[in-house]
Amino acid sequence: MIKAHTGKVPFLELKRALVNAIDALTYLKTEPIDLVFLDIDGPDITALDCLLKPIAFERFMQAVNKACERLSGDSRKSPYVFVKYGHD
């Protein structure tokens, strides 16, 4: 779903889809990435924005727009954006 939605947004580029945290951390250490979608499920995990499956395109765009606002340089906000891609 994330791949399909990302393909509809001209200013988003899907760099990599990884299936485990070790590979993701290794990749993130060497590549400049602005936004990460995580498919996680855990009681101790918090997120700026949660996308629950199935993800409607409109809801996906709300999360993307929120991330873009954060990344635009508003110094009053945290420079980090965490988006939880929830399970059913």
Q: How confident is the model at residue 85 (pLDDT cuts 50, 70, 90)?
A: low
pLDDT on residue 45: 58
The whole-angstrom separation of Cα 10 and Cα 62 is: 15
Average pLDDT estimate for 4-32: 91
How, if at all, do strands 37-39 and 83-86 pair? parallel
28 backbone dihedrals φ, ψ, rounded to 5°: -65, -25
Q: Model-level pTM? A: 0.69
Query: Cβ distance 67 to 20 under 8 Å?
Result: no
**pLDDT (0 to 100) of residue 75:** 44
Q: Is the pLDDT of residue 77 over 90?
A: no
